Amino acid sequence: MKIQVRSFVFFAALLLSFGAAAQPKFEPQVGQAGKDVIWVPTPDEVVERMLLMAQTGPNDIHFDLGAGDGKIAIAAAKKFGARATGIEYNPEMVKHANANAKAAGVDGVGPGKATIRHGDIFVTDFSSATVITLYLLPALNMKLRPTILAMRPARAWCRIPSPWRTGKPTRPPRWTAGAPISGWCRRT
């Protein structure tokens, strides 16, 4: 009886290991459906420009809303030294983005580090942010507008595209990265 139990445990473990190995690795696809949007990767030039326009630096607490593959949060940590957090609704994207942060050598919490958290951008508290980036559809930007504008001063936010403007930007609101892109950034 004891040998039969060991044999069963061995074969069960063997089957489970084959099942785990057979599952394909998650790779995001441009246009894949999300909670509120489809996923489109942020162009590298736009990532760099948004963080520059926000004057992101090592003393900043950066939040990227709708983080996707984590590209913006990773750049905020790696190139600008910020404490970066991405908020992403899709749990598979969260795992993928954190793997990207690890591959970039910036995974973790603290200055020059990035972590992507699973959450809903409409209920997650990001009030500790000093820099907020958004690469979302105009309707989602508008839905987030009251929350962002109600935050305490000394905040910077950049969003693409730019359907609303409040106050004077600290940087020109238009630039080109392969094609004209409308953006808005304000540091108060």
Superfamily of chain region 44-187 = Vaccinia Virus protein VP39 (3.40.50.150)
Quote the pLDDT of residue 169. Answer: 45
* Contact between 172 and 164 (Cβ < 8 Å): no
Q: How far is CA 29 from the centre of its chain?
A: 16
Q: Which has more confidence, 94 or 127?
A: 94
Distance CA 62, CA 83 (A): 6
Percent of the chain surpassing pLDDT 70: 68
Domain range annotation of the chain:
44-187
Task: Record the pTM.
Answer: 0.76
pLDDT one-digit tens code per residue, 24-66:
788 888 878 788 888 888 889 889 888 888 889 999 999 999 9
Under DSSP, is residue 38 helix (H, G, I), strand (E, B) or coil?
A: strand
- Please report which helix (H) or strand (E) contains residue 98, including its range: helix 91-103
Tokens in use for 38? 């489809």
Tokens in use for 30? 């441009």
